[in-house]
Amino acid sequence: MAKKNIDWSSIGFGYIPTEARYVSNYKDGKWDEGSITDDANIVLNECAGVLQYAQTVFEGLKAYTTQDGKIVVFRPDLNAARLQESCKRLEIPTVSTEKFLDAIEQLVKANIDYVPPYGSGATLYIRPYVFGTNPVIGVKPADEYQFRAFVTPVGPYFKGGVKPITIRVCDYDRAAPHGTGHIKAGLNYAMSLYPIMEAHREGFAENMYLDAATRTKVEETGGANFIFITKDGKLVTPKSNSILPSITRRSLCYVAKEILGMEVEEREVFFSEVPEFAECGLCGTAAVISPVGKINDHGKEICFPSGMEDMGPVTKKLYDTLTGIQMGRIPAPEGWIKVIAE
Ligand SMILES: *Cc1c(COP(=O)(O)O)cnc(C)c1O
């Protein structure tokens, strides 16, 4: 085995194809065995369900090299469970947890030379997804599906140190009250592209979406959940049926409560109380936590006391603890780390 000759610190978050990906097909009511292939391309019928009616769901997780040289993935059982929820909502046959974990293990093993070394700041991003493959023209679920997973090495999220971002309150909605906001589906991203490009054109890094029904409560951004820290050191995170249940956010809440001894509240968060918070962060697999320094509400600025230079102190402690667990520097709670190779 030889690590690929990649300058790990200079790669960004882009698609770098590797030699191996996992594929399994669903036909006649069942999934086949599944295997590793070198073919990065998919040939689909022009009328495939995924192309006509966006019948596709995905996941995102990472493999890391720990301090003691193991290759591990973080809580993949939760990705398996979430993918099952996403599949059900879009009438896609589910992938069992056992099959999902087997796919991830085969995939990471086949790409072991692409797992960035410990300390590089880079990680191996894993993208599993399921989509309808057979022709569908009348609106109905497809009969045949493909479950695929590929990897791509991704660079350190914060090059040259973490910088807090400025986000804006968005006038578009991300998810309807009883819609699909809680599942990880491409369709939730398609409709976020216009708002995010508009935000970028106006100089903002992200959109803060409010609840669609009343526009008074904080939901999430296009691809990350919010955490807030109160002035007395409590962690507060929005609760809503239309938020995607982030595994990073759930892990941070556990870390806050069980390891750092903080109080944690998962509850409705009114936008009107946001100026009261001391710190704000966005959490997801990609960055773990991106600190938010400022929120622009139609020209009115909410500036968090943590400022625009550094992550707030409590956010930093949460970040260091969770990344410490992922990288094997801090003992992990039972079942959080799946070892792929020693
Ligand atoms: C994937 C995703 C997140 C983050 O979830 P993680 O499991 O922490 O990566 C948050 N919001 C949305 C809309 C997402 O799609």
Token pair recorded at residue 145? 């599906």
pLDDT in tens, the chain (342 residues): 578 888 888 888 889 999 999 999 999 999 999 999 999 999 999 999 999 999 999 999 999 999 999 999 999 999 999 999 999 999 999 999 999 999 999 999 999 999 999 999 899 999 999 999 999 999 999 999 999 999 999 987 777 678 999 999 999 999 999 999 999 999 999 999 999 999 999 999 999 999 999 999 999 999 999 999 999 999 999 999 999 999 999 999 999 999 999 999 999 999 999 999 999 999 999 899 999 999 999 999 999 999 999 999 999 999 999 999 999 999 999 999 999 998
β-pair partners for 130: 57, 147
Which pLDDT score is estimated for 49?
A: 94
- Closest-lying ligand 1 atom to the alpha carbon of residue 247: 7
Which pLDDT score is estimated for 1?
A: 56
- Closest-lying ligand 1 atom to the alpha carbon of residue 60: 9
- Closest-lying ligand 1 atom to the alpha carbon of residue 224: 10
* Distance of alpha carbon 95 from alpha carbon 100, whole angstroms: 6
- Whose tokens are 């589910």? That residue is 94
- To the question of domain 21-154 being in CATH 3.30.470.10, the answer is yes
Token pair recorded at residue 261? 């001894």
Task: Compute, in angstroms, the gap from residue 146 CA to the centroid of ligand 1.
Answer: 22
Task: Compute, in angstroms, the gap from residue 324 CA to the centroid of ligand 1.
Answer: 20
Residue nearest to atom 5 of ligand 1 (CA): 246
* Distance of alpha carbon 206 from alpha carbon 80, whole angstroms: 27
Token pair recorded at residue 289? 């936590």
**Biggest alpha carbon distance in the chain?**
58
Q: How many residues does the structure list for the chain?
A: 342
Tell me which residue of 270, 275, 254 sits closest to 321, measured CA to CA.
Answer: 254
Which pLDDT score is estimated for 5?
A: 85
Token pair recorded at residue 183? 């599942």
For 102, phi and psi rounded to 5 degrees? -65, -40
Which pLDDT score is estimated for 102?
A: 98
- Give the Cα-Cα-Cα angle 137, 138, 141 (nearest 5 degrees): 90
Task: Compute, in angstroms, the gap from residue 242 CA to the centroid of ligand 1.
Answer: 12
Which pLDDT score is estimated for 155?
A: 86
Task: Compute, in angstroms, the gap from residue 109 CA to the centroid of ligand 1.
Answer: 25
**Helix or strand or coil: residue 312?**
coil
Residue nearest to atom 13 of ligand 1 (CA): 223
How far from chain centre, in Å, is Cα 312? 22
Task: Compute, in angstroms, the gap from residue 241 CA to the centroid of ligand 1.
Answer: 14
The string over 296-316, giving b where at least 16 C-beta atoms fall within 10 Å of a residue's C-beta and e elsewhere, is: beeeeebebebeeeebbebbb
Q: Is 231 tagged catalytic? A: no
- Closest-lying ligand 1 atom to the alpha carbon of residue 78: 7
* Distance of alpha carbon 342 from alpha carbon 332, whole angstroms: 16
CATH top-level class for 165-326? Answer: alpha beta
- Closest-lying ligand 1 atom to the alpha carbon of residue 82: 7
Residues 159, 135 contacting (CB under 8 angstroms): no
Catalytic residue among 88, 109, 184, 294: 184
β-pair partners for 147: 24, 130
Which pLDDT score is estimated for 10?
A: 86
For 327, phi and psi rounded to 5 degrees? -90, 5
Residue nearest to atom 1 of ligand 1 (CA): 223
Domain locations in the chain?
21-154, 165-326
DSSP 209: P
Q: What angle do the packed helices 247-254 and 313-326 form, to 10 degrees?
A: 110
Residue nearest to atom 10 of ligand 1 (CA): 224
Residues with CB under 6 A from ligand 1: 60, 184, 220, 223-225, 244, 246-249, 283-285
Task: Compute, in angstroms, the gap from residue 254 CA to the centroid of ligand 1.
Answer: 17
pTM comes to: 0.96
